[in-house]
Amino acid sequence: MPPFHPDLQQVRFLPQLSLGTRSLRVMRFLGRLARPDGSVPVVPVSPDVSVRLFRPAGPGPFPALLWVHGGGLVSGTAAMDDAFCRRVSEELGAVVASVEYRLAPEHPFPTPLEDCWTALTWLAGRADVDPARVAVGGASAGGNLAAGTVLLARERGLDLVFQLLVYPMLDDRTTAHADPSAVRVWTPGSNRFGWSSYLGDTTEVSPLAAPARAEDLTGQPPAWIGVGTHDLFHAEDVEHARRLRAAGVEVELLEVPGAYHGFDAVQGATAVSREFRDAQVAALRRALVG
C-alpha cells in the first residue's frame, strides 16, 4: 500500500465501510442528532430550497459564493460546512449561501441540481451581491453539483467568475481504484450506491448529472480543483483538470500526496488539512477580491 501523508498516518486504522440503504438510514439519523448553529440565518429561497446565509455588515455590493455540501448525493446538510462558509464570508467580505438541496434517492437527478440553480439565481439577484463576482463551490458530491451548476449556468446564460471543486465526484463510471487498500471514507461500493441513487432509472446519463461526461467544457469560469492522491476521485479529478485546460479554461490543480477523501474533515487539526483549506480560501480571494 502506498504511504499515507505523514500527518494522516492514523487513518490506517480506519475500516473501509461501504454505504448502502441500511447504513444510509443510520447516517441520516446520526446527522439529525447534531445541533446546527442557531445564529446562522436560514433563508427560504423557494418552497423546497433554503440556504444558510453568511454576509458582512453593510449594504454591499459584495462578492458572493454559492456553496454546496457533500454527502455522496444521498446525505449531509448545509450546516456541516458552517465553519468554512463563515471563514470565507469574514475573511473575504463575501456573501456566502450554503444551499440545502434535496437528496437522492428520494429526489434523483435533476432535482438536486435544479435546487442549486434556484439558490444560485436567488443569490446572484440579491441587491447586496455584485453579479460580476459570483462563484460556485462544493466538496465531494457538492463538487459534482457545483460543476453541474457551472454547466447549467453556461447553458442558461448566467456568467460566473470562478468554480471551487474540492475532491469533486464527477464520473459515474468510477467504481474502482488503482490501489483500493489506500482508499478511505468513500469506497467503490459507496460510490456505486451514491451514483445509482442519484441517477435512478435513467438509461442515458446526462453530463449535467456527471460532468466528466461533458464533451464541451469551453466557456467555463476559472477553476480550482483539490484532491488527495489516495482519493477514489483522484484520477477523474486530474482528468477533469486536464480537459478543462484543453478547452481553454484556467485551472489550478492541487494534488495532496497520501491524502484520502475528506481528510480535511476527518483530521481537520493536522497541518496538511489546514494548508488545504487555506489554499481554497486563497483561491477564492484571488477570484473574488483580487
Phi-psi category of 120—alpha, beta or left, where left has phi over 0 and alpha has psi -120 to 50?
Answer: alpha
Single-letter residue type at 97:
A
Length of the chain: 290
Task: Take residue 159 and report the three cell numbers written for it.
Answer: 456568467
Of 50, 75, 140, 190, which one is the catalytic site residue? 140
The answer to whether 140 is a known catalytic residue is yes
Taking alpha carbons only, the member of 173, 163, 48 closest to residue 111 is 48
Of 7, 172, 231, 237, which one is the catalytic site residue? 231
Q: Are 101 and 118 in contact (CB under 8 A)?
A: no
Signed CA dihedral, 176, 177, 183, 185: sign only = negative
Beta bridge partners of 268: none
Catalytic residues: 140, 231, 261
